[in-house]
Amino acid sequence: MTAREDFITRFGGVFEHSPWIAERAFDAGTVIEPLTASGVHRTLTAQFRAATPEEQLGVLRAHPDLAGKLAIAGELTEDSRKEQAGAGLDRLSTEEHARFTALNTAYVEKFGFPFIIAVKGLTKDDILAAFEMRIGNSREQEFETAKAQVERIARLRLEAQLPGDANA
């Protein structure tokens, strides 16, 4: 396996189902050894931010609904499954699940992409409160907020894989 293939294999899923970000980061020559969470995050995030709005939207749309049909069917990526389970989204009551489903539907209808939040350290109540607040945002506000959350999720995933560094 080449260095490029190894990098893409390791980090291609950091931004949900978007290996093109890792491909572009490697091809740009911005990957710096030794690999650290902050260094890889910087290079991947630069490519995400340089992408077209359509490409960024594709990354947002690659994220699953919180506590949605993919979770029920057991079809989340391993990272998404662990993240949602850590916030208790795999243990919702019938009423809580109905509330998440209604909010997911309304959110996607309004914004055209799923609600995205870095769930690490949050409870289901924290997530519901953010959901209910953010659904009132404009599309522009929410597009920026969702992109920032995607970057935060990427950072948390990288921190689980790599050491940090003094420049973090």
Question: In 3D, which of 99, 141, 157 has the Cα closest to residue 124?
Answer: 99
* Residues shown for the chain: 168
Q: What are phi and psi of 167, to 5 degrees?
A: -95, 10
Contact between residue 119 and residue 149 where contact means Cβ atoms under 8 Å apart: no
| Nearby residues of 71 by Cβ (< 8 Å), 6 or more positions away | 64, 65, 80, 81, 84, 89, 90
Residue 17: active-site member: no
Per annotation, catalytic residue among 17, 41, 63, 97: 63
Active site residues: 63
